[in-house]
């Protein structure tokens, strides 16, 4: 294990310090643009506040639209992070090392935005605190509030714990910068890399990994409950919990891949993020795509086979009706594109994986949309079924949400290394041996047998 | 304790929509104007649902007035995160406007689409505000509103009875829609009283409930159109 | 600049700045509460509740609907007129009654207690049926020589509900909310 | 000082909202409505009134709190509606508080129709009108005053009539399609009755309606709705049947036991086809027909000339297959309908819809009414009845000076009652043309009363031109409607909730009734009851005019007029049904309770309860129902024959008259119910026949009431505009989808409307409801949809004097 006392070769990880030390002008400008878009979103929100939720395109049957779609989508993406990183940590997948930090940041950043989207959707946002004053535990919305809060706390801690040694590194690296130094000093909690500290930290990380997984699973399960706990056609489904979790991880991985490619490009992280990482993540994405398709297929097949009239109205509106374009685009983006690209080793290049990921992100957003809107637009009673067109306010808030997410991400990378330095070091120092040890432990005791088999095969 | 319920005899109902306007007038329900109406934001606690089957000349249209059905097992109540909507001991599914945070979960959960949202602060010309019913609070923007069985009338009827030191009679409390129905197709009363009109009619072989199979146990019973007579 | 201020506070160098900040904050709060939240009510006549009570005038003599209606009612001029047709005292306030009577208009009393519109409150049920004393909610107005400028007791939903709970009255939301 | 959570929130929100967009009206938002002063009259009052949103004459109770009318409900005691009320009635409160009401008298300041007005005082306005009228009087031109009055039922009706009468002009012209206070023409011709029609619908076993929209906008909607509820489920073991013959699948049709779609204008043929089945199968009421009818069998008159009887005519000409091919109704339906009609007696055939069925639809109405004769639906419970008059105090007689008599003896400007308009009481159709031509004399002054012909009449353009020829136009409308825009002087009337009303309501149900309405609220604006105004003008004109109007004001008029009720010793002020049942029981036993000891008490009771009625006022006795010279129900109408003869003399020969009327029938058939073929319709892919209709909560008058604008119809969810209903298949062929905008084009003009594709529409028709497309009439009504009158080619129904608003050929194209 690495210790910061043991002098780290700062030069070796120069690339990682660069964004902090010599922030690139282009990125600053880009952040400025993002902030401007966010401000535009804020302006939209002020307008919405001024005129009421009527400023959106929501209407009587279609009373949830972009905001809830974004909410589900963003919370879904948040699974990228913590869940994947926790699972990989638990599984001791060594290739995780340069990825975990990126994933965790996604989680934390995106959770805020998801939560904000739910606030956007409230008719009386200033009464949101009623949830805590007068909360009714029977309501899935309160389960949501609780589990999201828990997840936010847990994943913040989970992000922060492994960050401490790195902050200490930064503290030492930037000893000459007064404010920055002081900033890191506060947050490094006096980390000195002593074995005791390392032990505590490791225990902390392990505990958090264990804790975070059920919380993450619960978050999206509970979000699915918002829909499945109602009696509405194509919402009231038992499969929704796992379906949503699967979709969340699916979109999370895609988001992670996209962020990795982007950051690799702008921060020149090629030495850290190698094609192998993308290959592995690509395989993971492929698996999730297949799993997602399996869920979707069985969800729609059971609905179709039962042929319950109200259910079928929604079904047909998705399959052949008003929402068919969204639905089939979703299938194309979520299944056809990723499976076609990722099934072939040759196409699992960084570019290929990126294309598949972007496709999945778009597809998953559409998936949320096609789950929410068509059901609302086709209520049970013969009611004037509604048509929903988002207004520019909703588009503005959606754009604002996305750009604020990227902004937060870049802001983080502006102050903290986006790849865990100490974990890379740890990988070098401890991981290699550990892995070798572990692989050995998988295999039969005598090395001779192994060697002789190898020989046999080669001949 | 009473359990308030309604019976609507579809064989007598003429789809005249008087109930609907009576409700708007009684409960200060705003009109939303052309632009909002085109976006599907008309608020109308009671609505006449129409359903047409067949092709000319073999056609059939059914009209069903749908107030809030005040389910005994209301799907909307379960999902409200702040107790803004709840089923009171007398069976009225109430909406407390000043508690509502406007999340619209209850609207999404209601299979009857009986809840409405104030998408804006609806304003009407000052002169028309004089026509507001002072007994009913004017809902503000961003909250969900719905039929309350005119519970403010219950409050006042009960208060009158208490002031006269007697029990309130069931017939002192009638919602505005029932009061004005020109063809007397709507009945209102205490379902706990086996001899009340609503209980008797509820046992009619013509009786049915909307979307009965959902198990929401609505307290608004409909009587089918047709030959067979109510038990009155 | 701001950072400097904060840091100086933290470092405890310039205590007066901190003090000034706190005072400023308190002033803002006080200002806010006194101006925005209402300056209190000024009645057209400086009515002396105490004297009237001592003379044996009941609350319900002037607030005459208290037992019959949901509202208690502001005193009508004809009620005042019954006793004050001829001046009884030398009070300057009393002459105002004559003035209003001469102009044939009601005294523009300013309502002090107003229920929010989403609450249905009925005086007759609380006073006539339940027999609650006026003081319970309105405080000891009867001992005041000037009309209260502010509510002597703050009426809040929890106060209502506590009393309802203690007396076994209905605490259902719809028992009060419109 | 109360610092509640609510306050705090309010402040917080106020701060945020203020910061966010400089919102200044926050306080207003949160208040909703201003708290009222508690020392006004804090108690609620319920004041009886009469609904004037249509002619139904329902009794209202207005809930008044602190001088504000906050709710209208039906008067539970009122015999017409018994506490029920329709959406229009409920929305009346919105017209009271409409922000676009005219607030003071207005004098035209700019050019006509320019919309520039100068507010003037009532004194000045009265002086202007008096001066004008006095001027005409001096010039012996009193007949050049024309009053056009719309559709309403009130004592103002006789009052206006009296005004014209005492002033000396025959030109009191009604612009309306329903004439509930007049006898229906067909009933007059066949039964000889002279009082308004009545049907005992409550006890009918079967109601066969030919296009009368029982449940939408017939004579007295709420009474009919009440009837519907009653006959469906309130007569255990005797559920009434309702059959609706209508080209459109109306709400009435959808609530009926059977809808019989029919080719428009061919109702007569169907009725006569049914008569064929009834006669052929011999299931008609033989006793009644033999004893009480005239002209059923072939007959020979006094001169020995033989005449064709109804039976022969029917059996020869209206065989079911013929009828089926004319009407499009399947043969088996004709049979089943006819059999049901006689088997489920008492049965009533309703053929008195407001708009005309077709040109010269008197024969259609007679044909339908002949079914009532065949099934003997006269003289028993559940059949036709007749209303007796309300025993009001007769108004003092008018002494007419010579000049007044001269004026009154002039021919009417619209020509009603003369020549080819022989049967018409009013000929609105003819009016603008005659004004333009100055025939028979020019019009000097026009009063417009509760009518808006520039909106409601298809001859809008001609009317505008005609109005330009009139030097002085006075409108009494409380709203600045289309016609008022062309007036010189607007004298805003009270809305009905602000004024005294008295109405000897005429409606379809028979019993005699007088409703009284008190002003529910103080006038909101400086408006004036037009009745008061007329009384004032009459007083100032002096002479016989003043003597004809001896009342102080409309309240006095009512007090004086209702004295007759008190002294008549019949009927009583309405009370609870139980109480009335007891009283009727006593009356049957020969006792009559003297209800009140003095007129004052009677008046108090009447003005507190809102109506007086005499349930015994209607009669179902055959003797009273049949008043023809022959004393029989006349299939062959001698009255019609006499009238036609008179008219023929006026125009110079029968052939000339028949040519004017466009009648093809000759000889005996002219006085028998018969069917004249309608012209063949054009057929092309995009050509449709336009059918217009009225809905319960949508009319020209109520277009200014936002509640109704948001609940226009139960069968389509439309609001704030009208639409055109098109058959699904034809729309598909034209590439029109539900909700598309389409052009509806006739030879007269074109309008743009939203298309609603419905499976209920007959392929050859399109339906447009009336009531939208105002060009003025306040913010709520103006510019909502299009007015179908802009495409309607008026066909004249000369015998009725009212244009036909359906049947125009229109072309539909996608906009």
Q: What are the pLDDT digits (tens) for A116-153? A: 999 999 999 999 999 988 988 889 999 999 999 999 99
Residue A11's pLDDT is what? 75
Judge whether residue D731 has pLDDT over 60: yes
Residues 29-68 of C with CB under 8 A from B: 68
Please, are residues A82 and A212 in contact by the beta-carbon 8 Å criterion? yes
Judge whether residue C128 has pLDDT over 70: yes
Q: In this predicted model, what pLDDT tens digit does every residue of A340-379 receive, in sequence order?
A: 999 988 888 899 999 999 999 999 999 999 999 999 998 8
Residue D682's pLDDT is what? 61
Say which of A50, A127, A384 has its CB closest to residue D20. A50
B165·C173 Cβ contact <8 A: no
- Mutation site, C118, C121, C156, interface D, largest D CB count within 10 A: C156
Judge whether residue C114 has pLDDT over 50: yes
Say which of D2, D11, D38 has its CB closest to residue C151. D2
Q: Give the lowest-confidence range in A317-326, A432-441, C47-56, D550-559.
A: A432-441
Residue D366's pLDDT is what? 93
Residue C98's pLDDT is what? 83
Q: Is D727 helix (H, G, I), strand (E, B) or coil?
A: strand
SS (H, E, C) A292-328: HHHHHHHHHHHHHHHCCHHHHHHHHHHHCCCCHHHHH
Burial of A271 (0-12, 13-18, 19+ CB in 10 A): middle
Among all residues of chain A, which has the CA nearest to that of B142?
A123
Top pLDDT among D346 and D41 is at: D346
Residue D228's pLDDT is what? 93
Across the range D746-760, mean pLDDT stands at: 93
A184 token code pair = 């890191």
Judge whether residue D758 has pLDDT over 80: yes
- Mutation site, B37, B53, B116, B182, interface D, largest D CB count within 10 A: B182
Judge whether residue A2 has pLDDT over 60: no
Backbone φ and ψ of D573, nearest 5°: -65, 140
CA of D725 vs chain C CAs: smallest distance (Å): 42
Q: In this predicted model, what pLDDT tens digit does every residue of B195-214 receive, in sequence order?
A: 999 999 999 889 999 998 89
D696·B133 Cβ contact <8 A: no
C10, C11, C16, C17 alpha-carbon torsion, rounded to 10°: -50
**For residue D28, what pLDDT band results from cuts at 50, 70 and 90?**
very low
Judge whether residue D503 has pLDDT over 80: yes
Q: Is B66 helix (H, G, I), strand (E, B) or coil?
A: strand
CA of B232 vs chain C CAs: smallest distance (Å): 32
Residue B231's pLDDT is what? 44
Q: What percent of chain D has pLDDT over 90?
A: 55
A123·B117 Cβ contact <8 A: yes
Chain A residue numbers with beta carbons less than 8 Å from the beta carbon of D18 are none
- Mutation site, A49, A54, A69, A223, interface B, largest B CB count within 10 A: A54
Residue C27's pLDDT is what? 86
Say which of B96, B135, B159 has its CB closest to residue C177. B96
Give chain D's mean pLDDT: 87
Give chain A's mean pLDDT: 87
**For residue D153, what pLDDT band results from cuts at 50, 70 and 90?**
confident
Q: In this predicted model, what pLDDT tens digit does every residue of B159-169 receive, in sequence order?
A: 888 888 888 88
Chain B residue numbers with beta carbons less than 8 Å from the beta carbon of A62 are 40
Alpha-carbon distance of C8 to C1, in angstroms, equals: 10
D414 token code pair = 């619209």
Residue A4's pLDDT is what? 43
Alpha-carbon distance of B157 to B160, in angstroms, equals: 5
**For residue D624, what pLDDT band results from cuts at 50, 70 and 90?**
confident
Judge whether residue B72 has pLDDT over 90: yes
Across the range D437-459, mean pLDDT stands at: 91
D39·C36 Cβ contact <8 A: no
Judge whether residue D345 has pLDDT over 80: yes
**First-last CA distance in chain A:** 41
Strands D750-758 and D795-797: unpaired
Q: Is B72 helix (H, G, I), strand (E, B) or coil?
A: coil
CB pairs under 8 A between C and D: 42
A382·B83 Cβ contact <8 A: no
Among all residues of chain C, which has the CA nearest to that of B91?
C174
Q: Residue D223: which of D237, D212, D210 has the closest Cα? A: D212
**For residue A452, what pLDDT band results from cuts at 50, 70 and 90?**
low
D33·B132 Cβ contact <8 A: yes
Top pLDDT among D745 and C44 is at: D745
Chain A residue numbers with beta carbons less than 8 Å from the beta carbon of D13 are 126
Residue D435's pLDDT is what? 93
Please, are residues B168 and B186 in contact by the beta-carbon 8 Å criterion? no
- Mutation site, C68, C115, C118, C176, interface B, largest B CB count within 10 A: C118
Residue D1's pLDDT is what? 39
CA of B19 vs chain C CAs: smallest distance (Å): 20
**For residue D429, what pLDDT band results from cuts at 50, 70 and 90?**
confident
Q: Which chain C residues have any C-beta within 8 angstroms of a chain D C-beta?
A: 33, 36-38, 40, 65, 69, 71, 73-74, 76, 106, 109, 111, 113-114, 116-117, 150-151, 154-157
Across the range B91-98, mean pLDDT stands at: 91
Say which of D13, D23, D717 has its CB closest to residue A126. D13
- Is residue C131 less than 8 Å (CB to CB) from chain B? no
D38·C73 Cβ contact <8 A: yes
B55·D229 Cβ contact <8 A: no
Judge whether residue D189 has pLDDT over 50: yes
**For residue A73, what pLDDT band results from cuts at 50, 70 and 90?**
very high
Alpha-carbon distance of D352 to D189, in angstroms, equals: 14
Task: Name the helix (H) or strand (E) containing D71.
Answer: strand D68-74
D4·C155 Cβ contact <8 A: yes
Neighbouring chains to B with at least 3 Cβ pairs closer than 8 Å = A, C, D
Residue D22's pLDDT is what? 33
Judge whether residue D6 has pLDDT over 80: no
**For residue B106, what pLDDT band results from cuts at 50, 70 and 90?**
very high
- Mutation site, D6, D8, D12, D16, interface A, largest A CB count within 10 A: D16
Alpha-carbon distance of D334 to D338, in angstroms, equals: 6
pTM for the predicted model, two decimal places: 0.89
B82·A59 Cβ contact <8 A: no
Chain C residue numbers with beta carbons less than 8 Å from the beta carbon of B155 are 120, 174-176, 178
Please, are residues D86 and D228 in contact by the beta-carbon 8 Å criterion? no
Most confident by average pLDDT, A439-453, C144-158, D511-525? D511-525
Alpha-carbon distance of A126 to D191, in angstroms, equals: 74
**For residue C127, what pLDDT band results from cuts at 50, 70 and 90?**
confident
Judge whether residue D7 has pLDDT over 60: no
Among all residues of chain B, which has the CA nearest to that of C178?
B152
Say which of C128, C175, C176 has its CB closest to residue B163. C128
Chain D residue numbers with beta carbons less than 8 Å from the beta carbon of B174 are none
CA of C13 vs chain D CAs: smallest distance (Å): 35
Residue D246's pLDDT is what? 93
- Is residue D13 less than 8 Å (CB to CB) from chain A? yes
- Is residue B157 less than 8 Å (CB to CB) from chain D? no
Q: Give the lowest-confidence range in B102-111, B174-183, D585-594, D649-658.
A: D585-594
Across the range B120-130, mean pLDDT stands at: 87
Judge whether residue D595 has pLDDT over 80: no
Judge whether residue D697 has pLDDT over 80: yes
Residue B7's pLDDT is what? 96
Q: Residue C40: which of C115, C110, C123, C96 has the closest Cα? A: C110
**For residue D5, what pLDDT band results from cuts at 50, 70 and 90?**
very low
Residues 641-700 of D with CB under 8 A from C: none
**For residue D33, what pLDDT band results from cuts at 50, 70 and 90?**
very low
Across the range D763-781, mean pLDDT stands at: 92
Helices (H), A332-429: 337-342, 350-377, 392-415, 421-426
Across the range A279-295, mean pLDDT stands at: 93
**For residue D29, what pLDDT band results from cuts at 50, 70 and 90?**
very low
- Mutation site, B28, B135, B151, B163, interface C, largest C CB count within 10 A: B163
Judge whether residue D636 has pLDDT over 60: yes
Return the beta strands (E) in D408-556 as ranges: 445-449, 472-475, 489-490, 501-503, 512-517
Strands across the sheet with D512-517, in order? D501-503, D512-517, D611-614, D572-573
Residue B93's pLDDT is what? 94
Residue B176's pLDDT is what? 94
Chain A residue numbers with beta carbons less than 8 Å from the beta carbon of B143 are 123-124
């Amino acid at each position: 294990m690495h210790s910061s006392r043991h002098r780290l070769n700062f030069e070796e990880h120069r690339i990682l310090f660069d964004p902090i030390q010599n922030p690139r002008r282009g990125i600053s400008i880009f952040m400025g643009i993002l902030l401007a878009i966010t401000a535009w979103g804020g302006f939209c929100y002020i307008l919405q506040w001024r005129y009421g939720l009527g400023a959106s395109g929501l209407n009587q049957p279609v009373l949830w639209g972009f905001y809830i779609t974004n909410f589900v989508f963003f919370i879904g993406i948040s699974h990228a992070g913590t869940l994947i990183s926790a699972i990989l940590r638990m599984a001791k997948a060594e290739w995780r090392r340069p990825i975990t930090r990126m994933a965790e940041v996604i989680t934390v950043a995106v959770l805020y935005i998801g939560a904000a989207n739910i606030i956007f959707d409230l008719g009386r946002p200033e009464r949101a605190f009623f949830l805590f004053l007068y909360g009714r535990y029977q309501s899935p919305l309160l389960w949501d509030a609780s589990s999201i809060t828990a997840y936010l706390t847990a994943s913040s801690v989970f992000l922060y714990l492994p960050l401490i040694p790195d902050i200490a590194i930064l503290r030492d690296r930037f000893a000459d910068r007064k404010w920055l130094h002081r900033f890191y000093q506060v947050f490094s909690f006096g980390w000195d890399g002593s074995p005791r500290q390392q032990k505590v930290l490791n225990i902390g990380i392990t505990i958090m990994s264990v804790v975070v997984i059920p919380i993450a699973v619960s978050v999206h399960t509970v979000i699915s409950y918002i829909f499945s706990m109602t009696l509405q056609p194509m919402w009231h489904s038992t499969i929704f919990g796992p379906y949503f979790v699967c979709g969340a991880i699916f979109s999370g991985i895609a988001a992670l891949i996209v962020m990795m490619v982007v950051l690799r490009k702008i921060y020149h992280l090629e030495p850290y993020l190698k094609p192998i990482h993308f290959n592995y993540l690509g395989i993971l994405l492929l698996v999730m795509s297949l799993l997602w398709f399996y869920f979707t297929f069985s969800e729609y097949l059971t609905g179709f086979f039962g042929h319950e009239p109200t259910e079928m109205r929604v079904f047909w509106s998705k399959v052949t009706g008003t929402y068919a374009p969204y639905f089939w685009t979703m299938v194309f983006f979520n299944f056809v594109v990723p499976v076609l690209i990722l099934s072939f080793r040759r196409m699992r290049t960084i570019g290929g994986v990126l294309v598949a990921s972007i496709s999945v992100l778009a597809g998953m957003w559409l998936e949320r949309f096609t789950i929410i809107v068509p059901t609302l637009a086709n209520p049970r009673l013969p009611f004037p079924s509604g048509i929903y067109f988002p207004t520019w306010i909703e588009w503005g808030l959606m754009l604002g949400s996305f750009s604020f997410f990227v902004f937060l991400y870049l802001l983080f990378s502006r102050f903290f290394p986006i790849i865990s330095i100490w974990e890379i070091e740890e990988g070098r120092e401890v991981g290699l041996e550990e892995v070798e040890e572990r692989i050995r432990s998988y295999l039969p005791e005598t090395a001779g047998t192994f060697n002789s088999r190898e020989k046999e095969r080669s001949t | 304790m009473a359990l308030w319920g309604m019976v609507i005899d579809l064989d007598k109902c003429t789809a005249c929509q008087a109930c609907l306007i009576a409700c708007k007038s009684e409960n200060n329900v705003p009109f939303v104007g052309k632009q909002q109406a085109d976006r599907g934001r008309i608020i109308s606690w009671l609505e006449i649902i129409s359903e047409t089957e067949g092709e000319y000349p073999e056609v059939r249209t059914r009209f069903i007035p749908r107030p809030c059905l005040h389910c005994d097992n209301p799907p909307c109540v379960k999902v409200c995160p702040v107790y803004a909507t709840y089923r009171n001991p007398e069976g009225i599914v109430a909406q407390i406007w000043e508690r509502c945070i406007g999340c619209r979960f209850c609207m999404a959960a209601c299979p009857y689409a009986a809840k409405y949202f104030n998408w804006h602060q609806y304003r009407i010309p000052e002169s028309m505000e004089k026509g507001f019913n002072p007994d009913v609070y004017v809902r503000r923007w961003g909250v969900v509103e719905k039929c309350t069985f005119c519970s403010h009338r219950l409050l006042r009827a009960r208060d009158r009875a208490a002031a006269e030191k007697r029990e309130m009679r069931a017939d002192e409390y009638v919602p505005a829609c029932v009061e004005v129905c020109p063809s007397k197709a709507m009945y209102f009363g205490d379902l706990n009283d086996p001899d009340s009109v609503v209980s008797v009619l509820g046992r009619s072989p013509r009786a049915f409930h909307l979307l009965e199979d959902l198990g929401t146990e609505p307290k608004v019973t409909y009587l089918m159109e047709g030959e067979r007579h109510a038990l009155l | 600049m701001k950072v400097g201020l904060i840091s100086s506070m933290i470092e405890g160098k310039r205590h007066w700045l901190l003090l000034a900040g706190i005072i400023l904050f308190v002033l803002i709060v006080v200002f806010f509460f006194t101006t925005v939240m209402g300056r209190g009510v000024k009645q057209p006549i400086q009515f002396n509740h105490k004297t009237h009570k001592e003379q044996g005038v009941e609350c319900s003599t002037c607030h005459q609907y208290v037992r019959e209606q949901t509202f208690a009612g502001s005193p009508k001029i004809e009620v005042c007129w019954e006793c004050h047709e001829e001046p009884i005292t030398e009070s300057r306030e009393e002459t105002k009654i004559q003035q209003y009577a001469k102009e044939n208009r009601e005294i523009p009393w300013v309502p002090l207690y107003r229920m929010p519109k989403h609450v249905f409150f009925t005086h007759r049920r609380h006073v006539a049926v339940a027999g609650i004393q006026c003081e319970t909610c309105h405080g000891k107005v009867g001992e005041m020589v000037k009309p209260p400028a502010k509510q002597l007791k703050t009426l809040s939903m929890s106060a209502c509900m506590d009393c309802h709970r203690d007396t076994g009255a209905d605490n259902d939301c719809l028992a009060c909310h419109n | 000082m109360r610092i509640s959570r609510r306050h705090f929130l309010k402040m917080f929100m106020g701060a945020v909202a203020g910061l966010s967009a400089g919102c200044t009206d926050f306080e207003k938002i949160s208040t909703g409505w201003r708290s009222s002063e508690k020392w006004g009259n804090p108690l609620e009052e319920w004041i009886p009134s009469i609904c004037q949103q249509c002619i139904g004459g329902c009794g209202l109770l207005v809930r008044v709190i602190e001088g504000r009318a906050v709710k209208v409900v039906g008067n539970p005691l009122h015999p017409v509606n018994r506490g029920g009320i329709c959406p229009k009635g409920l929305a009346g409160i919105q017209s009271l508080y409409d922000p676009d009401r005219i607030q003071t008298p207005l004098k035209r300041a700019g050019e006509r129709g320019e919309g520039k007005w100068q507010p003037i005082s009532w004194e000045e306005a009265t002086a202007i009108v008096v001066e004008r009228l006095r001027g005409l009087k001096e010039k012996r031109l009193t007949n050049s005053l024309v009053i056009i009055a719309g559709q309403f039922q009130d004592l103002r009706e006789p009052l206006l009539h009296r005004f014209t009468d005492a002033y000396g002009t025959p030109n009191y012209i009604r612009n309306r399609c329903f004439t509930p206070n007049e006898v229906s023409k067909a009933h007059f011709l066949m039964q000889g009755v002279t009082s308004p029609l009545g049907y005992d619908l409550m006890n009918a076993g079967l109601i066969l309606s030919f296009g009368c929209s029982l449940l939408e906008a017939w004579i007295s909607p709420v009474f009919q709705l009440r009837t519907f509820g009653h006959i469906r489920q309130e007569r255990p073991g005797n559920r009434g049947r309702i059959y609706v013959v209508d080209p459109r699948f109306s709400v009435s049709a959808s609530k009926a036991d059977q809808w019989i779609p029919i080719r428009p204008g061919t109702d007569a043929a169907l009725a006569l086809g049914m008569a064929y089945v009834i006669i052929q199968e011999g299931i008609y009421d033989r006793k009644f027909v033999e004893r009480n009818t005239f002209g059923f069998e072939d007959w020979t008159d006094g001169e020995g000339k033989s005449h064709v009887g109804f039976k022969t005519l029917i059996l020869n000409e209206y065989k079911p297959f013929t009828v089926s091919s004319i009407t499009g109704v399947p043969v088996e339906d004709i049979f089943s309908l006819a059999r049901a009609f006689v088997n489920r007696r008492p049965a009533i055939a309703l053929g008195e819809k407001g708009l005309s069925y077709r040109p010269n639809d008197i024969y259609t109405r007679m044909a339908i009414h002949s079914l009532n004769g065949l099934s003997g639906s006269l003289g028993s419970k559940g059949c036709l009845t007749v209303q007796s008059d309300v025993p009001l105090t007769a108004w003092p007689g008018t002494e007419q000076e010579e000049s007044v008599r001269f004026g009154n003896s002039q021919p009417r400007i619209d020509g009603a009652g003369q020549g080819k308009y022989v049967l018409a009481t009013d000929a609105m159709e003819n009016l603008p043309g005659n004004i333009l031509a100055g025939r028979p004399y020019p019009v000097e002054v026009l009063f417009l009363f509760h009518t808006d012909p520039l909106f409601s009449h298809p001859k809008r353009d001609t009317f505008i031109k005609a109005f330009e020829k009139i030097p002085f136009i006075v409108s009494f409308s409380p709203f600045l409607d289309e016609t008022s825009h062309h007036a010189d002087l607007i004298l805003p009337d009270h809305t009905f909730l602000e004024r005294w009303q008295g109405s000897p309501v005429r409606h379809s149900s028979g019993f005699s009734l007088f409703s009284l309405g008190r002003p529910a609220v103080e006038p909101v604006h400086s408006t004036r009851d037009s009745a008061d105004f007329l009384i004032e003008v009459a007083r100032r004109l002096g002479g016989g005019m003043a003597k004809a109007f001896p009342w102080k004001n409309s309240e006095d008029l009512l007090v004086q007029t209702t004295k007759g009720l008190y002294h008549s010793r019949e009927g009583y002020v309405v009370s609870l049904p139980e109480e009335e049942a007891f009283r009727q029981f006593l009356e049957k036993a020969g006792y009559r309770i003297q209800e009140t000891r003095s007129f004052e008490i009677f008046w108090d009771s009447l003005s507190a309860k809102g109506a007086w009625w005499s349930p015994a006022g209607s009669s179902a006795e055959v003797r009273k129902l049949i008043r023809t010279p022959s004393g029989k129900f006349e299939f062959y109408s001698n009255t019609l024959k006499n009238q036609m003869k008179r008219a023929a003399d006026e125009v110079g020969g029968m052939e000339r008259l028949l040519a004017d009327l466009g009648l093809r029938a000759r000889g005996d058939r002219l006085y028998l119910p018969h069917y004249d073929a309608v012209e063949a319709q054009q057929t092309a892919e995009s050509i449709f026949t336009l059918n217009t209709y009225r809905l319960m909560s949508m009319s020209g008058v109520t277009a200014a009431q936002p509640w109704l604008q948001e609940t226009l119809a139960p069968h389509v969810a439309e609001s704030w505009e009208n639409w055109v209903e098109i058959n699904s298949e034809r729309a598909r062929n034209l590439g029109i989808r539900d909700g598309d905008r389409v052009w509806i084009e006739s030879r007269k003009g074109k309008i743009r409307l939203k298309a609603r594709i419905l499976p209920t529409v007959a392929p050859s028709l399109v339906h447009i409801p009336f009531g939208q497309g105002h060009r003025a009439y306040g913010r709520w009504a103006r510019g909502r949809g299009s007015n179908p009158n802009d495409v309607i080619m008026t066909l004249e129904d000369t015998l009725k004097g009212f244009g036909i608003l359906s049947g125009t050929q229109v072309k539909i194209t996608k906009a």
